[in-house]
Amino acid sequence: NAGVTQTPKFQVLKTGQSMTLQCAQDMNHNSMYWYRQDPGMGLRLIYYSASEGTTDKGEVPNGYNVSRLNKREFSLRLESAAPSQTSVYFCASSSTTGSSGANVLTFGAGSRLTVL
């Protein structure tokens, strides 16, 4: 099983450039998430999608857009990259949402983004 697949693994951008991080899961999960991980800040939720066709903001959504293309795919777009968006981005999925205590996330391997 591939689980959660993210692309690209590494990317270097110049300030103002745009890019899209792709994420796909093959576990038939309903919910998908984008987190960013920064030193000293831990993991912070950017956006999530509880089910196909819905998306909601997380803790740090500014500067990002998302698209839940279908049940398998959830993309994260940076329209105009800024140095503050230099981070490691993780996509995750889970089979349940709204059921407290039963939200085990499966994570992708991460995408390391550097904005110069």
Partner 1 sequence: SQELEQSPQSLIVQEGKNLTINCTSSKTLYGLYWYKQKYGEGLIFLMMLQKGGEEKSHEKITAKLDEKKQQSSLHITASQPSHAGIYLCGADSNYGGSQGNLIFGKGTKLSVKP
Which residues would be at the binding site for partner 1 (CB under 8 A)?
4, 31, 33, 35, 40-45, 48, 50, 56-59, 90, 92, 94, 96-110
Non-local CB neighbours of 44 within 8 Å, separated by 6+ positions: 35, 36, 37, 38, 58, 59, 60
d(CA 51, CA 32): 8
CB of 25 to partner 1, least distance (A): 12
- To partner 1, the closest distance from the beta carbon of 105 in angstroms equals 6
Question: Smaller CB distance to partner 1: residue 16 or 98?
Answer: 98
What is the CA 43 to chain-centroid distance, rounded? 11
- Which is nearer to partner 1, 47 or 85 (by Cβ)? 47
